[in-house]
Structure 1
């Protein structure tokens, strides 16, 4: 009888321990789930930052800082210079280096990649309007290139929107630094057809409404409208995430307005158009056919001005090409880099 009681007690204890294990395991799983739910509803901005951190870590993009005469650049990078040219990526207005993560995911791991925060954006120094003009940004990016010694051998430069304007003018100013340049929906041209965004700017110019700039939202509804303007693909984004996106941007809106006014000023508005005839390095242009921010007609302007320019127009794609079509963008970029490298090697053999 005693042995039977002992066996029953032992079985009961084992069952109790199993219940404890399931409770502990359930609690362990519940903690991150509850944290996610809490972040989603209470701190959506923090959730977005964690998302970027996760993807940087997963793609092995390391964040670093470089200083040039007291000016600090923040950038992420992966790999080291090798057989392929290094690649420097310049983001667009009010974005940051992490916007390239979707494209980085599809680029070969053996290619040296560098994504820098543009002047005044994210972790790079915020100074004065002189640095936010296109000429000012070109000067700062050249300082960054020198500081990290990226130009020890020619590298490939990529820029989108505002960054495309900067990349194009950089190619005109510093051709010896580059082996090629890719411009994605670049700003700074005189477009044969006006986009929806440019038409809206003309209306704002008449009313002098500096608070109504579509690319500087301050509410979730304005954020949603901006995303619809920039993207052809209609993403279903929860309101909490829209709120988080706005919360991240609002502290920077005064800077964005200052920067934007500098970009649309007389000195910067058509910078790329005024310098495109000076581009001598191989040029690739990628544009979304449904771009409502900067009209796709700008692609033909570059094609006519720069001999040998390769143009790729993506259907069912808007202004945010690198986010809407990251795989295709990565493929086009690498095909162009490889083709230029092969052509360069063939020329060397013949000589």
Structure 2
């Protein structure tokens, strides 16, 4: 082979190899980089834009796609220590014509964080209402979706601002008096140690344990990916653990917020729960359905607390079908 051709091949190969090696090396040294690139890639692929809006001196961070149209807009509220991007797995299966908004909850990710703020469910509801007003989302009723802590806030929001909501979807919501204690609640009661909360991992091993607690499906995740998932959380862990957020959520003023106000919910309501939920027991579904007239309950077999991660396609279908076919006075329970 001609020496010039050999040199060209070596140069071309080296040019391609350098960024590959650089990416691999950066992932090994900074695994969080891959996680951030992953979210960036899916936001871009799904057409979700990151935006900020202010209410006075308070800033909300959110991702959105589309504009309000004939179908109700969707506002999605995530759970404790999560963030707006957790909904991307569900967004992937939602119709592109729907107007979607996923906001970072108060104190989470890009939304304002302060040790002086009150993070009880009622105060979070006030903040979310400020956000809704800031982006003019309540010009007409919208479909509110919340999971875990976000489900607690979503339910209380629907009770306090009924005119804003046309449909309500609660996914494994917190804020109830559950007939049966979950594995997580038992651990919390037994330890009483707010420094060792399973939902606030600080090592790859603890991240793996959290995923086992939250998911029925056993994902085979490389240790480096687990480390990356932890690394993107570590900057926030001290706030979640030591400052008032977690204590406000599980304290007396928030622990049963949804339970105390669920009878006031008037919007057609959908309740989705993983049958094998170890964080918030599935018995909460009956508590809600018995107090919200016409509510529709969907119990997902072989599914844990992380419904939106374990069953994103099914979750998206249930949300869309519910808003399309919901009728007052219906009350049925389905096994999937």
TM-score range, shorter chain: over 0.9
Aligned ranges 1:43-54 → 2 under 5 Å:
43-54=30-41
Instruction: Provide the C-alpha distance between the structure 1 equivalents of 2:11 and 2:72, rounded to a whole number of angstroms.
Output: 51
Instruction: Provide the C-alpha distance between the structure 1 equivalents of 2:158 and 2:288, rounded to a whole number of angstroms.
Output: 13
Instruction: Provide the C-alpha distance between the structure 1 equivalents of 2:125 and 2:81, rounded to a whole number of angstroms.
Output: 17
Say how many residue pairs are matched. Answer: 326
User: Would the alpha carbon gap of residues 240 and 273 (structure 1) be closer, same or farther in structure 2, given more than 3 Å must change?
Assistant: same
Q: TM-score, normalised by structure 1?
A: 0.90
Task: Describe the superposition over 1:48-105 as per-residue Cα deviations: whole angstroms up to 9, x where unpaired.
Answer: 1111001100111000000001100000000001111100000000000000000000
Q: Which is worse superposed, 231-240 or 242-251?
A: 242-251
Task: Describe the superposition over 1:273-292 as per-residue Cα deviations: whole angstroms up to 9, x where unpaired.
Answer: 00000000000001000000
Structure 1 residue 31 displacement after superposition: 3.5
2:218 pairs, out of 229, 234, 241, with 234
2:249 pairs, out of 247, 255, 263, with 263
Aligned ranges 1:68-79 → 2 under 5 Å:
68-79=55-66
Q: Does 1:290 align with 2:269?
A: no
- SS at 1:212's partner residue? coil
Contact 1:40 1:241 in 2 (8 A): no
- SS at 2:209's partner residue? helix
Instruction: Provide the C-alpha distance between the structure 2 equivalents of 1:338 and 1:26, rounded to a whole number of angstroms.
Output: 54
Contact 1:285 1:299 in 2 (8 A): yes
Aligned to 1:123: 110
Aligned to 1:223: 207
Structure 1 residue 18 displacement after superposition: 4.3
Contact 1:129 1:259 in 2 (8 A): no
Q: Does 1:170 align with 2:157?
A: yes
Structure 1 residue 40 displacement after superposition: 2.6
Q: Once superposed, what is the RMSD of the aligned Cα atoms?
A: 1.5
Q: Does 1:109 align with 2:96?
A: yes
Instruction: Provide the C-alpha distance between the structure 2 equivalents of 1:29 and 1:283, rounded to a whole number of angstroms.
Output: 53
Instruction: Provide the C-alpha distance between the structure 2 equivalents of 1:23 and 1:60, rounded to a whole number of angstroms.
Output: 39
Q: Does 1:247 align with 2:234?
A: no
Contact 1:84 1:111 in 2 (8 A): yes
Aligned to 2:85: 98
Aligned to 1:182: 169
Instruction: Provide the C-alpha distance between the structure 1 equivalents of 2:93 and 2:6, rounded to a whole number of angstroms.
Output: 45
Runs of 5+ consecutive residues of structure 2 not aligned to the other structure: 329-336
Larger Rg: 1
1:192 pairs, out of 179, 189, 192, with 179
1:317 pairs, out of 287, 297, 303, with 303
Q: Does 1:329 align with 2:311?
A: no
- SS at 2:106's partner residue? coil
Structure 1 residue 114 displacement after superposition: 0.3
Instruction: Provide the C-alpha distance between the structure 2 equivalents of 1:95 and 1:337, rounded to a whole number of angstroms.
Output: 25
- SS at 1:93's partner residue? coil
Contact 2:118 2:248 in 1 (8 A): no
Instruction: Provide the C-alpha distance between the structure 1 equivalents of 2:32 and 2:228, rounded to a whole number of angstroms.
Output: 4
Instruction: Provide the C-alpha distance between the structure 1 equivalents of 2:124 and 2:152, rounded to a whole number of angstroms.
Output: 10
- SS at 1:131's partner residue? coil
Instruction: Provide the C-alpha distance between the structure 2 equivalents of 1:259 and 1:188, rounded to a whole number of angstroms.
Output: 15
Aligned to 1:308: 294
Task: Describe the superposition over 1:246-282 as per-residue Cα deviations: whole angstroms up to 9, x where unpaired.
Answer: 2222221121123111111100000000000000000
- Runs (4+) of structure 1 exceeding 6 A deviation are none
Instruction: Provide the C-alpha distance between the structure 1 equivalents of 2:275 and 2:177, rounded to a whole number of angstroms.
Output: 17
Instruction: Provide the C-alpha distance between the structure 2 equivalents of 1:18 and 1:45, rounded to a whole number of angstroms.
Output: 40
Runs of 5+ consecutive residues of structure 1 not aligned to the other structure: 1-11, 345-351
